[in-house]
């Protein structure tokens, strides 16, 4: 197959860009590989080899001497970006857009996908805490305290994560603050059950995406990413538990 060196490089870059966005925003590995494979195929490369892990991608195509690498330094969760890349790959498959357009749109997805404002996320986290508190414990008295403390805990997590980019530290610190606040609330008579307030308030911090992805990666046979994600979820859980344990020692 004759294809200019330049075009091959463009294809490689488009694949890498798509894969990087997907992994950075919490997609499972089967989808990443599938999307990259499809982009390469629809761009005219029949045989593309790729090796994808949670921290980096390697891809090579036939008749092209260089394999390309993209490293993934930080991961966050933004499922809207995953959905948009998915949509874009579909459009590319139906030839609604061409390769340069694809690269341009991928850039746009990476940089300005709208997210919910902080206030909306804050309220959602607060609401989630209150609702799950009721679901898990079948008691209503602590719901207001759970609402406030859950929201504050999530806000602290959010700001620490943006400032320092160390997820486990933010989790530890915010669960520590949640514990302190729950203790204060019970002492001041604003809440009744210390345990229930904490159970509700830490729920917005639960690493739902790594857990789910760990299972899906393991099922699809990806023995590198599956355990890596399970470990990520485990460290998150330990960080959250650690923050609470520190507070429990004060009781």
Question: Where does this chain bind other proteins (CB under 8 A)?
Answer: 26-28, 31, 77-80, 82-83, 86-87, 90, 115-116, 120-121, 124-125, 127-128, 131-132, 134-137, 154, 195, 198-199, 202-204, 206, 208-209, 211-213, 215-216, 219-220, 237, 241, 244-245, 248-249
Q: What is the smallest separation between the CB atom of 240 and other proteins, expressed in angstroms?
A: 9
Q: What is the smallest separation between the CB atom of 8 and other proteins, expressed in angstroms?
A: 28
Return the number of the residue (61 or 247) whose C-beta is nearest other proteins. Answer: 247
Q: What is the smallest separation between the CB atom of 199 and other proteins, expressed in angstroms?
A: 5
Return the number of the residue (7 or 121) whose C-beta is nearest other proteins. Answer: 121
Return the number of the residue (8 or 151) whose C-beta is nearest other proteins. Answer: 151
Q: Decide: residue 220, CB within 10 A, 0-12 exposed, 13-18 middle, 19+ buried.
A: middle
Return the number of the residue (12 or 85) whose C-beta is nearest other proteins. Answer: 85
Q: What is the smallest separation between the CB atom of 242 and other proteins, expressed in angstroms?
A: 9
CA 138 from centroid of its chain's CA atoms: 30
Q: CB–CB of 72/55 below 8 Å?
A: yes
Instruction: Please tell me the distance from the alpha carbon of residue 129 to that of residue 80, in angstroms, as a whole number.
Output: 23
Q: Decide: residue 230, CB within 10 A, 0-12 exposed, 13-18 middle, 19+ buried.
A: middle
Return the number of the residue (53 or 91) whose C-beta is nearest other proteins. Answer: 91
**Conformation bin of residue 26: beta by default, left when phi > 0, alpha when psi is -120 to 50:** left
Packing angle between helix 29-42 and helix 5-24, nearest 10 degrees? 160
Residues in the chain: 251
Instruction: Please tell me the distance from the alpha carbon of residue 137 to that of residue 94, in angstroms, as a whole number.
Output: 50
């Amino acid at each position: 197959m004759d294809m200019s060196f330049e075009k091959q490089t463009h294809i490689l870059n488009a694949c890498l860009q798509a894969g990087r966005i997907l992994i950075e925003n919490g997609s499972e590995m089967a989808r990443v590989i599938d999307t990259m494979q499809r982009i390469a195929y629809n761009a005219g490369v029949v045989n593309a080899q790729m090796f994808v892990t949670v921290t980096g991608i390697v891809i090579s195509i036939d008749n092209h001497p260089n394999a390309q690498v993209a490293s993934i330094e930080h991961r966050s969760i933004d499922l809207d970006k995953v959905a948009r890349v998915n949509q874009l790959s579909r459009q590319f498959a139906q030839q609604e857009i061409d390769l340069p357009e694809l690269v341009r749109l991928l850039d746009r997805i990476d940089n300005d996908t709208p997210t919910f404002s902080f206030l909306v996320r804050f309220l959602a986290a607060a609401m989630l805490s209150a609702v799950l508190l009721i679901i898990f414990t079948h008691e209503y008295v602590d719901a207001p305290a759970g609402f406030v403390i859950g929201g504050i805990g999530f806000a602290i997590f959010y700001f620490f994560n943006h400032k320092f980019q160390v997820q486990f530290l933010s989790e530890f610190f915010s669960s520590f603050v949640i514990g302190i606040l729950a203790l204060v609330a019970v002492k001041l008579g604003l809440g009744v059950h210390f345990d229930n307030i904490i159970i509700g308030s830490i729920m917005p911090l639960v690493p739902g995406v790594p857990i789910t992805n760990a299972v899906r990666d393991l099922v699809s046979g990806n023995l590198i990413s599956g355990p890596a994600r399970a470990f990520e979820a485990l460290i998150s859980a330990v960080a959250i538990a650690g923050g609470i344990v520190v507070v429990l020692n004060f009781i």
